[in-house]
Amino acid sequence: MIDLIPLGEAGVDAAAAVHGAAVQDGERWSRAAIATLLAMPGAFGFLAPGKYGSAGFILARVVADEAEIFYLAVRPEARRNGIGRRLFAAALGEAGRRGCRRLYLEVAEDNLPAHALYSGAGLAAVGRRAGYYRRSAGPAVDALVMARDI
Ligand SMILES: CC(C)(COP(=O)(O)OP(=O)(O)OC[C@H]1O[C@@H](n2cnc3c(N)ncnc32)[C@H](O)[C@@H]1OP(=O)(O)O)[C@@H](O)C(=O)NCCC(=O)NCCS
């Protein structure tokens, strides 16, 4: 099993490269955007080592006793190997260690792989943001807010 690496400044380029490879229809996060998120109070993340520096990453934030996942991504060629599940579990564990009691995230309603991963990890839909994700073609897609206790 691969060892995850805490995401620090040195891993931001690798995370940005994964994001660029993973996002199909949406805004690609620049290195600066990821560095800014990571510099927020309570922010943390993990990298999965792999091709081009990383096969995947997760970025999250803790505020008081709640955690939010900003993003989870795995390179297309590295998917279905349990890396996404493992990154999520690492973030959940870290949030628990930091005293969080509940974890939230937003996911596009049409993102079936992510839904499957999150449902399998114990999250359930608790809300909806209408038209939250714009698409290059077609109508905007709702975001589902998913959550679970820690
Ligand atoms: C969602 C994502 C992170 C999953 O990463 P991954 O490494 O392939 O996920 P895992 O291999 O750990 O899969 C864990 C479980 O999730 C589910 N799952 C993952 N991909 C799936 C797919 N394409 N179809 C159906 N179920 C899927 C399965 O239940 C899987 O378990 P199994 O392989 O034992 O059946 C990856 O597809 C990705 O980067 N997508 C683009 C970015 C994205 O949408 N991020 C989420 C933003 S909220």
Distance 92 CA to ligand 1 centre (A): 16
* Nearest atom of ligand 1 to the alpha carbon of 69: 48
The CA distance from 72 to 35, in Å, is 15
For residue 148, pLDDT beyond 80:
yes
For residue 115, pLDDT beyond 90:
yes
**3-class secondary-structure state, position 119:** helix
Q: Note the pTM of the prediction, 2 decimals.
A: 0.96
For residue 26, pLDDT beyond 90:
no
Distance 122 CA to ligand 1 centre (A): 14
The string of pLDDT tens digits covering residues 53-109 is 899 999 999 999 999 999 999 999 999 999 999 999 999 999 999 999 999 999 999
pLDDT the model gives residue 38: 97
List, in order of start, the domains of the chain with CATH numbers.
Answer: 5-149 (3.40.630.30)
The CA distance from 14 to 87, in Å, is 15
DSSP tag of 78: G
Both tokens of 107, joined, read 């996911």
pLDDT the model gives residue 72: 97
- Predicted confidence band of residue 42 (pLDDT cuts 50, 70, 90): very high
Instruction: Name the closest-CA residue to atom 12, ligand 1.
Output: 82
Q: Please identify every residue annotated as catalytic.
A: 106, 118
Q: For ligand 1, which residues put their CB under 6 angstroms from it?
A: 22, 71-74, 79-85, 105, 107, 111-114, 116-117, 120
For residue 52, pLDDT beyond 80:
no
pLDDT the model gives residue 69: 98
Instruction: Name the closest-CA residue to atom 10, ligand 1.
Output: 82
* Nearest atom of ligand 1 to the alpha carbon of 81: 11
For residue 25, pLDDT beyond 80:
no
For residue 135, pLDDT beyond 80:
yes
Provide the sign of the torsion angle of the four alpha carbons 90, 96, 100, 101, taken in this order.
positive
Distance 84 CA to ligand 1 centre (A): 6
